[in-house]
A = this chain, B = another copy of it.
Amino acid sequence: MSFDLPAYLSERRVIVDAALDKYLPTADQEPDNLHASIRYSIFCGGKRLRPILALAAADAVGCDFSHVTPLACALECIHTFSLIHDDLPAIDDDALRRGAPTNHVVYGEAMAILAGDALLAFAFELIAECRAFCPADRVLEALVMVAQASGTRGMVGGQVSDIECEGRTDVDEKTVASIHERKTGALLIASLVAGARLCGASGAQENALRRYGEKIGLAFQITDDILDLEGDAEKLGKPLGSDLKQDKATYPKILGIEESRTLANRAAEDAIAALSIFDEKADPLRALARYMVERDN
């Protein structure tokens, strides 16, 4: 396949960044510190993976991707909210992310908590913007998917289990999988399926995208765990070994690094196989599956 993923990613990042810039309150609006804090973390060099998955899911089902741009921006707001809160001293206590000081280091803990809160509320306002392009019923259904993926059954629940497993020696592969399915997998799947739902995808298309999302979620997380051990700290923008330091439940800890790598590659292949019902309009998703295991940041 000759699909040019780097060009695709960079084109889509520009689109997502421009839309985020348009939607988010500017830092000259009151309270200016709050808006500056929000923009600091949003425009801190993220990969825009979740937005790009939502847009690529729209591509795959043959829909104009611009119809799901507000959803794409909402997903990045939710992802950023979760990073800001996870980095807080009371949670992971990380001072560096993407090569820059974390939100609370720059703006203080109170502002970081409130900036995260505001981003989460704003995300749902943004999803409702899809009403301009899509039937209200579908917008509500997509919104519920994203809310569920963010809450106690999704991201927040996974983060709680992750914290509770720190330092434990009896954590098995099933538990690690369950943590990551909720902490990262759920929102990746919601990005794809909510994007497709907005576009009126069929049940079979949604199921294929869900299966694809499960597999890339696994590939993404294992790769994350490996990069934390063997990556390039400069490219990652943070010091290596933070999982070890916090004694986190990770795939390399349970399976060893070679078996983890094999599992990640198999998951990427399974993700591509899940897309068999789609034509070449799903090539970006196929290329993204490979990117999940080949990325260096």
A128 at the interface (CB under 8 A from B): yes
A161 at the interface (CB under 8 A from B): yes
Closest residue to A147 on the B side, CB-wise? B125
Given contacts A125-B144, A140-B139, contact A152 B38 (CB under 8 A): yes
Chain A residues in contact with chain B, CB under 8 A?
25, 29-31, 33-35, 38, 81, 85, 88, 90-91, 108-111, 113-114, 116-118, 120-122, 124-125, 128, 131, 135-137, 139-140, 143-144, 147-148, 150-153, 156-157, 159-161, 163-164
Chain B residues with Cβ under 8 A from A147's Cβ? Answer: 121-122, 124-125, 128
A33–B143 Cα gap in the complex (Å)? 26
- Add 11 more A-B contacts to A91-B110, A136-B140 (CB < 8 A): A34-B156, A85-B114, A88-B113, A90-B109, A113-B113, A114-B156, A117-B156, A121-B147, A124-B143, A125-B148, A131-B137
CB of A31 within 8 A of CB of B164, answer: yes
CB of A113 within 8 A of CB of B91, answer: yes
Chain B residues with Cβ under 8 A from A117's Cβ? Answer: 81, 85, 116-117, 120, 150, 156
Which single member of B85, B118, B152 contacts A35 (CB below 8 Å)?
Answer: B152
A115 to chain B minimum Cβ distance, whole angstroms, is 8
Given contacts A31-B157, A88-B113, A139-B136, contact A118 B164 (CB under 8 A): no
Given contacts A121-B120, A122-B147, A143-B128, contact A157 B34 (CB under 8 A): yes
The quantity of this chain's copies bound in the complex is: 2
Most chain B C-beta atoms within 10 Å of own C-beta, residue among A29, A117, A131: A117
CB of A118 within 8 A of CB of B161, answer: no
CB of A113 within 8 A of CB of B139, answer: no
CB of B122 within 8 A of CB of A164, answer: no
Chain B residues with Cβ under 8 A from A30's Cβ? Answer: 157, 161
CB of A164 within 8 A of CB of B114, answer: no
A138 to chain B minimum Cβ distance, whole angstroms, is 9
A118–B116 Cα gap in the complex (Å)? 12
A124–B136 Cα gap in the complex (Å)? 15
Chain B residues with Cβ under 8 A from A88's Cβ? Answer: 113
A118–B157 Cα gap in the complex (Å)? 8
Chain B residues with Cβ under 8 A from A148's Cβ? Answer: 125
Given contacts A124-B124, A152-B38, contact A90 B116 (CB under 8 A): no
Given contacts A33-B164, A164-B31, contact A125 B139 (CB under 8 A): no
Which single member of B114, B157, B159 contacts A160 (CB below 8 Å)?
Answer: B114
